[in-house]
Amino acid sequence: MLTVTIPVDVQQALRKALKAAGTDECGGVLMGEHVGPGHFAVRHLSVQGGGRFASFVRQTQSALRALRKFFNQSGHDYERFNYLGEWHSHPSFSVQPSPTDHQSMLDIVMDVRVGANFVVLLIFKVSHQGDLEGSAHTYLPDGSHGLSTLVLAGAA
Nearer of residues 71 and 132 to Zn ion, judged by Cβ = 132
CB 62, min distance to Zn ion, A: 19
CB 10, min distance to Zn ion, A: 19
Nearer of residues 41 and 123 to Zn ion, judged by Cβ = 123
Binding site for Zn ion (CB under 5 A): 98, 101
Nearer of residues 101 and 107 to Zn ion, judged by Cβ = 101
Instruction: Give the amino acid at 49.
Output: G
Q: What is the DSSP secondary structure assignment for residue 147, as one 8-state letter?
A: E
Cβ count near 106 (within 10 Å): 18
CB 19, min distance to Zn ion, A: 18
CB 121, min distance to Zn ion, A: 8
Nearer of residues 14 and 81 to Zn ion, judged by Cβ = 14
Cα 44 from Cα 52, distance rounded (Å): 23
HSE at residue 67, side-chain half, CA atoms within 13 A, is 17
**3-state DSSP assignment of residue 135:** strand
84 membership: H or E segment, kind and range: strand 81-89
